[in-house]
Amino acid sequence: SNLGNVYALKGNYPKSLEAYSNAITYNPNNIQTYLNRGLTYSNLGKNAEALADMEKALQLSPGMEQAHSLKVRSLLNLTRYPETIEQCNALLNTFPQNAELWFFRGTALINTSRAQEGINDINKAIALNPSSGAYHYNIAFGYLQLGNKGMAQQHTAQAQKLGFQVPTTFLEQIK
């Protein structure tokens, strides 16, 4: 697992995956290795594999907040919005201070044409973690859905200020 971490820190995700997989072969009950491999899969856009690793980590440790967050992120990235919302609904009772969960549910809500509810959730995420450019970008997307270009522009500017790379096509939409 340590070798996997070294490769991951260098951005060599294929080697990192190989090292984590080898570590799992030797110790199939190491929760952290499943988390690390799942995060690596997620970084490579292999969300189904990331989801499988998070489910295995949760079998080993059902209350692990990080595994729940990564599982929900995988569901969101797989565009499984109803499941994302359902999982967040259950988890936010246990982890109400988890900004990612509010963000994931808000993003899923926006993507299911429930923009105002999504904006409300992402505002909660921003209150918990004001330094996330992604949060501001996604809330801007929700405001654009509602036709509120002023708020979309305001949050887009904040996202950029925080270092988030806003797609040019979105910048054109909010002019």
The predicted-structure confidence for 79-129, as pLDDT tens digits, reads as follows 999 999 999 999 999 999 999 999 999 999 999 999 999 999 999 999 999
The arithmetic mean of pLDDT across residues 1-26, rounded, is: 91
Q: Is 118 in contact with 81 (CB distance < 8 Å)? A: no
Distance CA 117, CA 103 (A): 11
pLDDT at 94: 95
- The confidence band for 2, taking pLDDT boundaries of 50, 70 and 90, is confident
pTM of the model as a whole: 0.91
Output the CA torsion 81→120→72→88 (10° steps).
-90
Residue 111 DSSP class: T
Distance CA 50, CA 73 (A): 9
Query: How far lies 8's CA from each of 30, 112, 129, in Å?
Result: 18, 34, 25
pLDDT at 1: 66
- Which tokens is 67 given? 């595994």
Q: Is 158 in contact with 127 (CB distance < 8 Å)? A: no
What pLDDT, in 10s, does the model give residues 120-166?
Answer: 999 999 999 999 999 999 999 999 999 999 999 999 999 999 999 99
Classify 80 as helix, strand or coil. coil
